[in-house]
């Protein structure tokens, strides 16, 4: 709450990770971050949430309570919130009844068009975003939480997720607020892929990037183009390292690029939950592309941790890596000693690039990088079946639901 007229920060700037299999507090660390921001929001301030799956009545009640004490609450959800069957039938009605659905009002809840993202005409597509903005005094004070996590029980207790908290960075606030306004408008005719806008140490990529976008290439391969795999520093030959922690990885262009980088001398290490393959699509996919002698190190994290084959396809018993992050260490943009990373909602899939509402956040900060590297190492160690990943789940034959 306010101290001398200035709001106190509810959460600390920096990364937050949940711990599936840990204590309740550890499992719900990201959930608690969202709750702390919402519950300490000041009257006259504004909370803005863009979320794919929101199945948490406690967080919904926190939004309702914030609205009751004079906070503007604005929420944009995917259409599946009201059109698809799921276990939660409470959250959306609570929000609708308390906030209304008029997007011209100071408070509201709304969904993107049925089977479409807010900024695309392509059907099907989704609003896959996972971020919260809090602002007080028209951006004089702000917090942005960018997460890989949905607001749902499995996201806390079973799925390995991350979140990045950014306090009082006006550039971050402006970028995310502008994107949120585009989501709220639901006007794809006036949508344009938002290219990276640097507000050091951050930069942003807001999707979809339409298939007919005149700029060439793939956003992620464009990032990877900045890596020099083999370089000399102080007379010593060194090799850059690329680490990928990814829920779904089915984009051939990114797989091709990583293969080329491995050939060029990069160390390439990937932990993933699901790829596609000849077994799942009828033609060679990313799984075949990246599995070859001398290729990247690959570990699958798709673990039916209750040991019951009868429930293997339910999201409830399965531990997976649900994050979507990229870590680059070495020579980046012709500078050595770099440690830079990206996180957000953006999987390495075709729809994430050209159809879905998504956010990719770049962070150029050594301490944040170190925290994410530790998280990556923990996920890499815990990954099952690990390198024994010739399984239907890892190859995309059986789909892993995102709950």
Instruction: Write the pLDDT tens digit of every residue in 261-279.
Output: 999 999 999 999 999 999 9
- The more confidently predicted of residues 380 and 21 is 380
pLDDT of residue 86: 79
β-bridge mates for residue 236, sequence order = 233
For residue 8, name the pLDDT band (cuts at 50, 70, 90).
confident
pLDDT tens-digit series, residues 350-363: 999 999 999 999 99
Residue 213, pLDDT above cutoff 90: no
Residue 332, pLDDT above cutoff 70: yes
At how many degrees (to 10) do helices 57-68 and 91-99 cross?
A: 10
Mean pLDDT of 226-236: 97
pLDDT tens-digit series, residues 376-400: 999 999 999 999 999 999 999 988 7
Least confident of 4-8, 146-150, 167-171, 208-212: 4-8
pLDDT of residue 317: 55
pTM for the model stands at: 0.96
Backbone angles phi, psi at 223, to 5 degrees: -65, -45
For residue 88, name the pLDDT band (cuts at 50, 70, 90).
confident
pLDDT tens-digit series, residues 44-73: 999 999 999 999 999 999 999 999 999 999
Residue 237, pLDDT above cutoff 80: yes
pLDDT tens-digit series, residues 282-331: 999 999 999 999 999 999 999 987 766 655 445 445 899 999 999 999 99
pLDDT tens-digit series, residues 108-124: 999 999 999 999 999 99
pLDDT of residue 5: 62
For residue 84, name the pLDDT band (cuts at 50, 70, 90).
confident
Domains of the chain: 2-191 (3.30.870.10), 219-386 (3.30.870.10)
pLDDT of residue 184: 98
Question: What Å distances lie between residue 381 and 271, 304, 364, 377, CA to CA?
Answer: 10, 16, 25, 6
Average pLDDT of the chain, as a whole number: 94
- Identify the burial level of 229 via C-beta atoms within 10 angstroms of its C-beta, where 0-12 means exposed, 13-18 middle and 19 or more buried: buried
């Amino acid at each position: 709450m306010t101290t001398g007229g200035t709001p106190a920060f509810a959460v600390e700037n920096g990364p937050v990770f949940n711990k599936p299999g840990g204590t309740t507090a550890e499992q719900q660390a990201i959930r608690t971050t969202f709750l702390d921001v919402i519950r300490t929001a000041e009257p006259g301030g504004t909370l803005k949430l863009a979320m794919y799956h929101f199945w948490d009545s406690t967080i919904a009640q926190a939004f309702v309570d914030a609205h009751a004490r004079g906070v503007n609450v604005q929420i944009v959800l995917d259409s599946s919130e009201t059109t698809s069957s799921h276990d939660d039938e409470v959250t959306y009605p609570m929000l609708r009844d308390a906030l209304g659905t008029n997007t011209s009002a100071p408070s509201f809840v709304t969904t993107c068009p049925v089977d479409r993202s807010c900024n695309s005409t392509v059907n099907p597509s989704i609003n896959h975003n996972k971020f919260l903005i809090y602002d007080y005094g028209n951006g004089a004070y702000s917090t942005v939480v960018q997460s890989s996590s949905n607001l749902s029980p499995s996201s806390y207790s079973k799925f390995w997720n991350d979140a990045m908290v950014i306090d009082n960075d006006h550039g971050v606030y402006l970028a995310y607020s502008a994107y949120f306004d585009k989501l709220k408008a639901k006007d794809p005719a006036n949508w344009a892929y938002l290219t990276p806008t640097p507000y050091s140490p951050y930069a942003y990529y807001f999707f979809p990037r339409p298939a007919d976008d005149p700029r060439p290439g793939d956003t992620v391969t464009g990032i990877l183009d900045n890596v020099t795999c083999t370089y000399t520093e102080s007379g010593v030959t060194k090799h850059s390292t690329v680490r990928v922690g990814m829920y779904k990885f089915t984009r051939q262009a990114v797989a091709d690029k990583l293969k080329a980088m491995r050939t060029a001398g990069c160390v390439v290490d990937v932990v993933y939950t699901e790829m596609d393959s000849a077994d799942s699509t009828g033609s060679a996919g990313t799984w075949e592309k990246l599995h070859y002698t001398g290729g990247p190190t690959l570990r699958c994290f798709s673990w039916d941790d209750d040991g019951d084959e009868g429930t293997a396809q339910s999201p409830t018993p399965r531990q997976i890596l649900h994050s979507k992050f990229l870590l680059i260490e070495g020579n980046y943009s012709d500078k050595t000693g770099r440690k830079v990373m990206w996180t957000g909602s953006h999987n390495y899939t075709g729809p994430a690039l050209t159809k879905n509402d998504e956010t990719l956040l770049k962070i150029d900060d050594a301490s944040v990088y170190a925290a994410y590297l530790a998280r990556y190492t923990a996920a890499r160690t815990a990954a099952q079946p690990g390198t024994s990943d010739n399984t239907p789940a890892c190859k995309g034959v059986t789909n892993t639901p995102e709950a």
